[in-house]
A and B are shown apart, each in its own frame.
Chain A
């Protein structure tokens, strides 16, 4: 069944991406999914100007954009977060970089935050799911980023104490998934996921049931 009919709430979105093919692709997917794309711009300045005049629900922005092709998108995201804390921000990047994650986590606010590799957009169902979570104020992190963080902490003691299944749960949790989404991905019951999460928090010595469990887990992983 087409996904378009299952979208719960249509979102008002602004897209910033300098490569025309990708911009059109992104807009095509979002509109087919039932969302409203208020504007699709190709510079960070254009993005800032539009958001100033009509703050949307979600901003989706590329990291690298003209004129400097360095991190204009990230800086625009930080500026939007400062001026409009409620606007959710989803940053798309060509590659995984710690510096980007750090910058985004620093800018965490009431509006949701997300960091995904561009190629995730093609996997529409997961992408639209991530978009929904970010729009609801959640924190979404690309699986590749989480994998890198886990590799880095692999030698750390507590992580070695986790079972294979608990590690899987930890990864999905770090990506920003809810218990039900984790249960679905691992084909287990939600109760089982809750039990695993409890174990993980105990083993990593984290405060259980924190509101911001994603950032807590990420903070632990980043050491």
Chain B
């Protein structure tokens, strides 16, 4: 949406902006700022004076300590007031909570220190910022009010002087008011809104801390990485589906056609050739199935992690026991779990010399914990050419973790934790 802040309204030009209430908001914003700035100045001066006077009798010490709180309070107020001119933007967060009571403040007073930018902003507003705001806001109000009231004033009063114009009667003032009011509203309102918008942008710049900015960008990065992992998973599923519903079905159909030929021809060299072709189809299907399994196994899509893990566990030469009790989750999470088990089991078979593997896992409170444990020789180092490193990155993107504990002499334990949202 275009009009999510005052700048958007300004960009549409004075005439179109004049048909909205933005000038009123901007005026109200400036009045607020000037009052806050003035109040801050008075409070700060009072604290300073009282504190210095009473410091010898110790009462003044807490008063002087409270001085920085003025900046904290001003920053807090001004952050919230940004909504007035930037309703479409997020309000910057306070770097700290406000103290609940004077006692709480005194106990943790170190925690309520304002940032250098907050102090600078407050000084700016309390010294001359409030004055500028007040002059501009008051000026516009007076000029607009006087122009509006000029016919009445000229009627009852004698002479109304507005800048270079002197109006002596209502008849003279009426055409003046008819021209001056709209002009003031359009041009004055536009300039005032421009000042207010500039001030709001400066406020946002000074009162958004760099850590918040960094945190926001880290959040964005994490989100985009997650999107990437999801997109990757969608693509893998698409390839799997193409192979599964396309190539694999066609090979099976080919095998059936060969089967029909087998029924049609008598025993002999012809039949032997057909049978050899059948054998080749069988091998092609076996190879295709292995490929599909490495991409995104169908049993994982259809029946979930538990069934898919049982299937790989059953296929491997090392005896295994599977204790899994997990509900269905998102494709990305299920795939991560599946490939961790698959990679861990591959390592068990290749390197560990284990005689027994145990796969345990459970999902609770939105998190999956999964452990693959073998009784092999241990000493596995995930940094040396293991697919587990890639999986670590993948899990990281999902907000999960992967740990490998493999002391020399065994046992090796691969532990995975991963957010497990409902599908």
Which residues from chain A sit less than 8 Å from chain B, CB to CB? 1-4, 19, 21-22, 24-26, 28-29, 32-33, 64, 70-71, 94-99, 118-119, 121-125, 127, 148, 151-152, 154-155
List chain B residues, Cβ under 8 A from A94.
244, 248, 298
Q: Majority SS of interface residues in chain A?
A: helix
Given contacts A25-B260, A97-B303, 14 further A-B contacts (CB under 8 A): A19-B245, A22-B249, A25-B252, A25-B259, A29-B256, A29-B260, A95-B289, A99-B307, A118-B252, A119-B252, A119-B255, A119-B282, A124-B260, A148-B314
Q: Is B211 an interface residue (CB 8 A)?
A: no
Q: Majority SS of interface residues in chain B?
A: helix
Q: Is the CB of A121 within 8 A of B302?
A: no
Report 25 cross-chain contacts, Cβ distance below 8 Å, ordered by A residue. A2-B266, A3-B262, A21-B249, A22-B249, A22-B253, A25-B256, A29-B263, A32-B263, A64-B302, A71-B302, A95-B298, A95-B299, A97-B311, A98-B311, A119-B282, A119-B285, A121-B256, A122-B256, A122-B282, A123-B255, A148-B314, A148-B315, A151-B315, A152-B314, A155-B356
Q: Please give the number of chain B residues whose Cβ is less than 8 angstroms from any Cβ of chain A in the complex.
A: 37
Which residues from chain B sit less than 8 Å from chain A, CB to CB? 244-245, 248-260, 262-267, 278, 281-282, 285, 289, 298-299, 302-303, 307, 310-311, 314-315, 319, 356
Task: Report the nearest B residue to A145, measured CB to CB.
Answer: B314
Q: Which of A2, A24, A122 contacts B252 (CB 8 A)?
A: A122
List chain B residues, Cβ under 8 A from A99.
303, 307
Shortest C-beta distance, A93 to chain B (Å), equals 10
Q: State A118–B263 Cα separation when bound (angstroms).
A: 18
Q: State A49–B409 Cα separation when bound (angstroms).
A: 63
Among B260, B266, B278, the one with the most A-chain Cβ atoms within 10 Å of its Cβ is: B260
Q: Is the CB of A2 within 8 A of B265?
A: yes
A22-B252, A96-B311, A155-B356 are contacts. A122–B258 as well, Cβ < 8 Å? yes
List chain A residues, Cβ under 8 A from B314.
148, 151-152
Shortest C-beta distance, B247 to chain A (Å), equals 12
List chain B residues, Cβ under 8 A from A121.
252, 255-256, 259
Task: Report the nearest A residue to B278, measured CB to CB.
Answer: A122
Q: State A114–B163 Cα separation when bound (angstroms).
A: 102
A94-B248, A154-B319 are contacts. A70–B256 as well, Cβ < 8 Å? no
A19-B249, A94-B244, A151-B314 are contacts. A124–B259 as well, Cβ < 8 Å? yes
Q: Is the CB of A127 within 8 A of B319?
A: no
List chain B residues, Cβ under 8 A from A151.
314-315, 319
Q: State A19–B299 Cα separation when bound (angstroms).
A: 19
Task: Report the nearest A residue to B254, measured CB to CB.
Answer: A122
Q: Which of A2, A21, A64, A98 contacts B307 (CB 8 A)?
A: A98
Q: State A94–B302 Cα separation when bound (angstroms).
A: 12
Q: Is the CB of A123 within 8 A of B263?
A: no
List chain B residues, Cβ under 8 A from A2.
263-266
Shortest C-beta distance, B73 to chain A (Å), equals 60
List chain A residues, Cβ under 8 A from B298.
94-95
Shortest C-beta distance, B35 to chain A (Å), equals 65
Among A64, A95, A98, A155, the one with the most B-chain Cβ atoms within 10 Å of its Cβ is: A95
Q: State A192–B185 Cα separation when bound (angstroms).
A: 109
List chain B residues, Cβ under 8 A from A64.
302
Shortest C-beta distance, B202 to chain A (Å), equals 58
Q: Is the CB of A122 within 8 A of B311?
A: no
Q: Which of B256, B264, B356 contacts A26 (CB 8 A)?
A: B256
